[in-house]
Amino acid sequence: DIQMTQSPSSLSVSVGDRVTITCRASQSISTYLNWYQQKPGKAPKLLIYAASSLQSGVPSRFSGSGFGTDFTLTITGLQPEDFATYYCQRSSGSPHTYSSPHTFGQGTNVEIK
Amino acid sequence: QVQLVESGGGVVQPGRSLRLSCAASGITLSNYAMNWVRQAPGKGLEWVAVISYDGSNKYYADSVKGRFTISRDNSKNTLYLHMNSLRHEDTAVYYCARLNQGLLLPALDYWGQGTLVTVSS
């Protein structure tokens, strides 16, 4: 199975900072990569799908990039409401939707410095 | 608006069974594949299972394969997770989530609020 590895596991930043989180797949997944934000006690929220497409309603300070095995989530100008945990996920399109796991990375906790 | 509401969580002894439900409103569930995702206390997200829009295809994480069964009743607009032979390590908040295959590539775009399952003697 394909493994997803995020780095760093946590980082301390200030409002206004540029934040970069990376996600590495153990083998190529093309652009089958999604990013989610989760705040304490809340369900995850989809931010980015297909590696770089911004989900409707998500602020444009969030962006994603990458292809193959290496992916990046960037927050340009961190806002107070962005302190949260971020997860990457390998998605599986047809014909693999029902034949491979949709694995999450271990998460990156973005904390206030 | 779209709402997914999980229920059925609670405290259960190791080895016993439990059935979770996920009731949908604001969407026709039969148009979408659905997933279960769980999160152990203080831990990250773990994908659990996926089921196709009509229930004909399913896939499970290795950690639950053979013990958990995902199913759906489209006439009731409801998703289920049948959990057997529960273990301490199954303790988690369980989320249902819609798989939107109409995006450029599939992603989980709507999530329920989660239901807590605690496996304890």
For A50, B33, B46, B84, the CA distances from B39, given in Å and listed in that order, are: 23, 20, 6, 18
Taking residue B121's Cβ as centre, other Cβ atoms within 10 Å add up to 9
Cβ within 8 Å of residue B81, ≥6 positions away:
B19, B20, B22, B36, B48, B49, B68, B69, B70, B94, B96
Task: Using a CB–CB cutoff of 8 Å, tell me whether B117 touches chain A.
Answer: no
Q: How many Cβ pairs closer than 8 A exist between chain A and B? A: 87
Separation of alpha carbons A48 and A34, rounded Å: 5
Distance CA A36, CA A106 (A): 12
How far B14 CA sits from the closest chain A CA (Å)?
25
Amino acid A34: pLDDT: 98
Q: What is the pLDDT of residues A5-29, one digit of tens each?
A: 999 999 999 999 999 999 999 999 9
| Minimal CA separation from B104 to chain A, in Å | 6
DSSP string, A61-92: TEEEEEETTEEEEEEES--GGG-SEEEEEE--
Q: Which residues of A touch B116 (CB under 8 A)?
A: none
- Asked if A32's CB is within 8 angstroms of B105's CB, the reply is yes
Residues in chain B with CB shorter than 8 Å from the CB of A39 are none
Q: Looking at residue A87, what is its pLDDT?
A: 98
Report the residue from A43, A85, A91 with minimal CB separation from B111. A43
User: Does residue B4 contact residue B110 with C-beta atoms inside 8 Å?
Assistant: yes
- Residue pLDDT, tens place only, A28-78: 999 999 999 999 999 999 999 999 999 999 999 999 999 999 999 999 999
Determine which helix (DSSP H) or strand (DSSP E) holds B6, and give its type and residue range. Answer: strand B3-7
Taking an 8 Å cut-off on Cβ atoms, the answer to whether B47 and A38 are in contact is: no
Residue A86 neighbours by CB distance under 10 Å? 24
Residue B62 pLDDT > 90, yes or no? yes
A24: nearest Cα among A58, A51, A53, A47? A51
Report the distance separating Cα B60 and Cα B74, nearest Å: 20
Chain B positions touching A97 (Cβ under 8 A) are: 33, 50, 52, 57, 59, 99, 101, 106
Under the banding of pLDDT at 50, 70 and 90, the label for residue B103 is confident
Residues in chain A closer than 8 A to B59 (CB atoms): 97-101
The band of A100, judged by pLDDT with boundaries at 50, 70 and 90, is confident
Q: Do A98 and B109 touch (CB under 8 A)?
A: no
Using a CB-CB cut-off of 8 Å, the residues of chain B touching A108 are none
Residue to substitute from B22, B58, B105, interface A, most A β-carbons within 10 A = B105
> Within 10 A of A96 (CB to CB), how many other CB atoms are there?
16
Q: How far apart are CA B99 and CA A60, in angstroms?
A: 23
